[in-house]
Amino acid sequence: MHDERSISEHRLRRVLRERIKPAVHTHPVPLTVERWDAPGEPVPVAEGLAAPYRPCGAGEPWGPAWGTTWFKVTGTVPADWAGRTVEAVLDLGFDRMMPGFQCEGLVHRADGGEVKALNPYNDWVRVADRAEGGERVEWYVEAAANPVLVDHAPTYEGDRQTSGEQPLYRLARMDLTLFQGEVWELVQDLEVLHDLMTQLGVDDARRYAILHAVDAALDAVDLGDVPGTASAARGRLAGVLASPAHASAHRISAVGHAHIDSAWLWPLRETVRKVSRTASNMVHLMDGHPDFVFAMSQAQQLDWIKTHRPELFERIKKKIADGQFVPVGGMWVESDTNMVGGEAMARQFLYGKKFLLDEFGIETHNVWLPDSFGYTAAMPQIVKLAGAKWFLTQKISWSQVNTFPHHTFWWEGIDGTRVFTHFPPVDTYNSDLGGSQLAHAARNYREKGRGSRSLVPFGWGDGGGGPTREHLARAARQRDLEGSPRIEIERPDAFFEKAHAEYEDAPVWAGELYLELHRGTYTSQAKTKQGNRRSESLLREAELWAATAAVRVPGYAYPYEDLERIWKTVLLHQFHDILPGSSIAWVHREARETYRAVRAELDSMVLAAQLALAGEGTEEVVFNCAPHARRGIPAGGAGVPAAAAQPVTVEERHGGGHVLANGRLLVEIDGRGLIVSAYDLEADRESVAPGTAANLLQIHPDFPNMWDAWDIDAFYRNNVTDLVGLDTMEIAEAGPESATVRVTRSFGNSTAVQSLTLRAGAKTVDIVTDVEWHESEKFLKAAFPLDVKAERTASETQFGHVYRATHTNTSWEAAKFEICAHRWIHAEEPGWGVALLNDSTYGHDVTRDVRPDGGQTTTVRLSLLRAPRYPDPETDQGSHTLRFSLAPGAGIGDAVREGHWLNLPERTLAGAGPVAPLLAVDEDAVVVEAVKLAEDRSGDLIVRLYESRGGRATATLTADFPVTAAVESDLLERPLEGSAVGTPTPDGTVALTLRPFQIVTLRLHRT
């Protein structure tokens, strides 16, 4: 038989494109169109409906970047269409090759109610299944002119303040049409068979059976009368569509989804509209497809709908009750997980799950994080304590070097907790359910022979409008189709139950899920990261002092509502394109403004509580919010600091520079203003590697291959400039309690002023770096070459730390050339180590070298600033203040303590005298993470603590107020089954035994 595959396949593609698809909507009758261009920001629906409209026609340009145009469309169904299916086609000027990331519309009725959204693959609105002749049509389309910003080129269109005024779009068509249902069905038949056929081998008989059936169907189509011959063509395809799948065919659980970034190439206000548009599409689709299931993953987005579209929210609640609309994930947003602090991660689940319980009475059991840029090893324990048991991610498939070895596995965290995890082999969270993607899922699935199923999220995301009726048609045809995986649309929990049941002994992956890509997100947009860290610290302070005042001061009202509101604001900004610094300029400009407002409000809240606690008086009272005592002031208490230790001395250094000493450290700063010695006098040990200098600022070129704000590629290291040129060096302070050397350097178009301080009694060198940064596509680092033979480093993460090798023996270690740490990173050899602490820096890198003397130099560098140009061309330009400290002789416990001290500075007030802490813990390894009043307004005290050093710990917690019971709770503050914590002793003590890195949340019932 002659092989005419290519001819037949080409014929199919052309006939589909040029004859059959255009025949789905026939007999177009133009609607009357009028427009109103809203000035400035979007307006309420009522204002849009009542606006003064003017005539408009097809082909007319509309929409400057970020503008909103309202189109009023009216028309009348022709009399001879009575009894026919009528749809309007409303094309705003969509680019069909890019579903999402462009203009969108939401159709309203004249009474303001939502109908559905308009998107590139969803530009129709049903008028009637059986129309009445003369039926009147009147709709209002709220059209958003979002600029296209996906080409990775620097642009100022990413902020309303700098974008242009020229129209971006041209109205394409707005017509009433007859919807030819049988033609539409034929399109779905042919597309499914085409995609399936092209995935089958050229030696597969099934491929040829489909090919011949398609040829026969096309022969039956009269190209001049497609609607009249569509049924006959479909009849010739019925046989190949009825052939059942193989018994061993891979099984796919298809879940409708529309991944919508809560901010990215659009501002937060546009996300509010995006989620409403997509959700309106989903409830509209559910009305006609009762088996359709759609999963929505962010409580914040549902809350936006509740606030801004209450009518739509009520429709969603009905669909949730029906089991079609499925909230998943249980987090406030799909947050970053690398940089979010431990308590903030707990609150992501507390407020996310609480919203779903309060609004819908449902509890989610899965965590849905397909798109975050790597996953902390602390996550499994947090997931379990949040009452969830399953985890889903997709992004690891983006790794550049190593292919992750599992698709279904047990993920083990730093404390030993395991969570059942799925990583969909389809390698997308926006599947089109096409044959190529489904075949890839089946081929790619790594659990063959043990497991048989995977999950596929399908639908157009990020403004593409979500799943469509075409997606559902593909799923229906491939439910049981020879050559295809079997597809079943079902809820995510149904998939996890089945996958877990068939593969309980799935393999284990221990430790972080490191993404070998997007490493620059640990550093981009420094002010956003700084705002997050400081907000987390301030929230800790505000809750601690407010709780203390609520217990101690009669009449003091704990600010429940304000704290929850601020927490939700901070949690929103931890979304995985905001905190990582990968959003447009508008997003980060607003984030800076928001963080300033948050700081002002929390400072005011802290001051009010501390004034209530301090009382009237003139005695200086120092408040210590840190979880460890310092200067004689207990953790969580206030008092008078103990006298300073041995005074600090400053001397001239031989050969230039200065020598600072305080009896614990001796620090030499050479004539270049660099630290050439940081000597641990107590251990008689040098921390700076011989022949090197610490606190060395270095600058690299920074032009990654693709994702500017997201990525740094390893080749950036090939070129480095040491910033050793000195403008000035002076002694800025020389007193017995502290001494400071100030160094000023100029480089490129920028300057850096560094203040190096040694304090009495301290075992850290504190460095404040003020940078006026005006570089482009450059990367600023601070290097600390340490005289330490470290096989690994420890980096703080949520509720503990994670170890990473310093060598590059394998491709897995080599790929981690940039790593994330929270408040500290620590390198040690047995018996002695060094910590590097920071107040808002997350990116680090560690390298090792063997010197000619045989010693090893372990160089730890902080990543201070970047200057990518996309998507924000002005990233990080301007003034920055960055704080970090070198701690010679530090162990892990020292790093934990010093890291908290750096991030939680003391506050001083005049008052009546000391304020005793509400709680005391007698073991430094056990760190109190949060003290607050319970969410249920009962007045109970919630204390969250964890073991911080990676070992077992026995501790006694003592409450300085009457306690009737101590109940171990989950993150939602509900009793935890199997808790070993019992009734406190009469003196208010609770005995605790913690395993390594264990998190314990206690609810203390007050009398």
Edge-to-edge strand list for the sheet holding 856-866? 721-722, 696-701, 778-786, 856-866, 843-850, 819-820
Q: Quick check: 255 and 293 in contact, CB under 8 A?
A: yes
- Residue entry with tokens 């394109």: 577
List the one residue out of 221, 219, 210, 209 whose CA is nearest residue 182. 221
Q: Quick check: 302 and 357 in contact, CB under 8 A?
A: no
568-599: string of b/e by CB count within 10 Å (b at 16+)?
A: bebbbbbbbbbbbbbbbbbbbbbbeebbeebe
Instruction: Compute the Cα dihedral for 297, 298, 299, 301 and give only its sign.
Output: negative
DSSP 455-502: EEEESB-TTS-B--HHHHHHHHHTTT-TTS-EEEE--HHHHHHHHHHH
- Number of Cβ within a 10 Å radius of residue 306: 16
Catalytic residue among 336, 371, 708, 940: 371
Both tokens of 239, joined, read 């046989």
Q: H or E stretch including 891?
A: none
Beta bridge mates, 141: 71, 107
Identify whether 120 is preceded by a cis peptide bond (ω within 30 of 0).
no
- Residue entry with tokens 């993953």: 297
Beta bridge mates, 959: 919
Give the three-state DSSP class for 139.
strand
Specify the pairing of strand 68-76 against strand 32-38. antiparallel
Distance CA 297, CA 366 (A): 10
Give the three-state DSSP class for 965.
strand
Distance CA 76, CA 87 (A): 12
Q: For residues 184, 189, 192 and 197, what is the CA-based torsion angle, rounded to 10 degrees? A: -140
List the one residue out of 749, 730, 120 whose CA is nearest residue 464. 120
Rg of the chain (C-alpha set): 31
Q: Quick check: 929 and 343 in contact, CB under 8 A?
A: yes
> Is 770 labeled as catalytic in the residue annotation?
no
Both tokens of 588, joined, read 């980060």
Distance CA 518, CA 499 (A): 30
Distance CA 300, CA 115 (A): 23
Q: Where does residue 294 rank: exposed (0-12), middle (13-18), buried (19+ CB within 10 A)?
A: buried
Distance CA 453, CA 428 (A): 16
Sequence letter at residue 118: L
DSSP 30-41: EPEEEEEEE-SS
Both tokens of 905, joined, read 């500075």
DSSP state of 968: E
Distances (CA, A) of 143 to 63, 117, 170, 277: 8, 10, 12, 11
Both tokens of 295, joined, read 């999963």
Counted residue by residue, the chain has a size of: 1007
Q: Quick check: 168 and 14 in contact, CB under 8 A?
A: no
* Cα three-residue angle 269-274-276, rounded to 5 degrees: 100
Q: Quick check: 826 and 806 in contact, CB under 8 A?
A: no
Q: Indicate the angle between helix axes 299-308 and 310-322, nearest 10 degrees.
A: 130
Which positions are catalytic? 371
